[in-house]
Amino acid sequence: MQADIQCEVMNSPVEQHPIDLDVCCFSSVNIHPEKSLLSVESGLPEIVGPGSRLSFAPLSMERIEEYSSLFSRCAEKASDYSFINIWGWSEERKYEWAFQDDLCWLRLTGGPQPVYWAPVGNWDRPDWAEVLARTVAPGTAFQRTPETLANLWQTQLQGRVVLEDQRSEWEYLYDYKTMVSLAGNKMHKKKNLLNQFKKLYDYTYAPICAKRIGLIRDMQQVWCEWRGCEESPGLVAENIAIARVLDQWENLPGILGGSLSVDDKTIAYTVAEDLGDGTVVIHFEKGLDSYKGVYQAINQIFLANTPGFQIVNREQDMGSPGIRQAKESYNPAGFLKKYTVRWLG
C-alpha cells in the first residue's frame, strides 16, 4: 500500500531519477483524438446480451463500496474495471451494472448495441457452468476479460467458450523501481530532457487534494484549448471523464495525483489510483508542452513522491501503432492480457 501522502507543496522533491514513456502527446487512456472510445469498441462482432434474470441499472455513487469490495476480490485487477475508470467514462459509455450471485455484471449502453464486460468479484467461487447457463443467453460475448478469468472459464467450461485475444486492450505493466531509477544508454535522451526541465524551471511539486482541484481544472482547460478539444470527439469525451473524476475526488477510493507548478502556474498533473495490490495505475496525465521536458518530469516526480508500489500500470494502447511502439520500447515487465470470451451455452 502507498505511504501516507500529505497535501503539501514540495519545492525540493525527493531525489529524482529520469523517466519517460514517450507518450507525451497522449493521456494515459490513449484515446484516438478523431473518435470517441466508445466508437472504437462498438465495432465488435454482434453481441447477444444476458437474459432477463439480470436487472441492470445506471452507475451510482450509492453502491461504490459494494462494487469496490467486489473489485478487490478479483484475482487480476484490470484498470478498466476500477470504479474510478468506469465512473469517469460513464458519461460517454453509459455503464450499467447488475449485482447478482455475489458478482457485479457490467455493460456499456452508449453505442448502437450493448457491450458486455466480464463480471467483477471472486472468480473462484461460482459454479460458472450453472451461473452462466441461467444468467446469460448463448452467444453472449464478454469484452476485455482479464486473462485469469478467461483461462478459468476455458478450463471449467471446456468446449462451451471461445476465446479471442484483444491485444489492443492489454495493459502495460512496468517495474516501479525501474521506472523511478531508469539508467543506461537507452534512456539518455529522456535523462537529458528531465535534467533540462530541472535546470530551466524553478518548479514545485504537490500531491493533488481537494483544495487544489480548481487549479487542475484550470490547467485542463488551458490544455484543451491548446489541443482543440472541441474539434475532437475523443478529447471531448476524455475532458468530461476528467471532470467527473475531479468532481468526486474526495469520494473515490484509492485516488492519487500530483502536479507541477512554475511561477505559481500549474503546468502538469497526473491522476492515478492505488489498485490495492501493489499496483499504481496512471489514468490521466497532462502537461503544457511549452515547458521543455514537462512530461518526463511529471512521470518521474509523481512516482518518486508516491512510494510503496511494485508495479506501474500505464494502461492499454487501444491499437494505435505509435503508442504501442512507444510503450513496448520501454521494456514493460509484463502485460495484463485481455480477451473476448464468447459463451456458447
pLDDT of amino acid 14? 41
What is residue 291's three-state secondary structure? coil
Provide DSSP, 137-192.
-TT-EEEEEEHHHHHHHHHHTTTTEEEEE-GGGPEEEEEHHHHHS--SGGGHHHHH
Of the candidates 278, 311, 286, 276, the one whose C-alpha atom is nearest the C-alpha of residue 179 is 311
Which domains are delineated in the chain? 39-170+339-343 (3.40.630.30), 171-336 (3.40.630.30)
Cα separation, 182 vs 32, whole angstroms: 29
Q: Distances in Å between the alpha carbon of 253 and those of 90, 130, 224?
A: 17, 33, 27
Say if CB 96 and CB 107 are below 8 A apart.
Answer: yes
Q: Which three cell numbers stand for residue 104?
A: 457485479
Cα separation, 96 vs 87, whole angstroms: 10
Of the candidates 307, 314, 319, 308, the one whose C-alpha atom is nearest the C-alpha of residue 335 is 314
Tell me which amino acid residue 325 is: Q
pLDDT of amino acid 48? 55
Which pLDDT tens digit goes with each residue over 38-69?
Answer: 544 544 444 555 654 899 999 999 999 999 99
**φ and ψ at 125, to 5 degrees?**
-80, -45
Which pLDDT tens digit goes with each residue over 154-195?
Answer: 999 999 999 999 999 999 999 898 888 767 777 777 778 988
Q: What is the pTM of this model?
A: 0.87
pLDDT band at 9 (very low <50, low <70, confident <90, very high): low
Q: Return the sign of the alpha-carbon dihedral for residues 242, 280, 277, 126.
A: positive
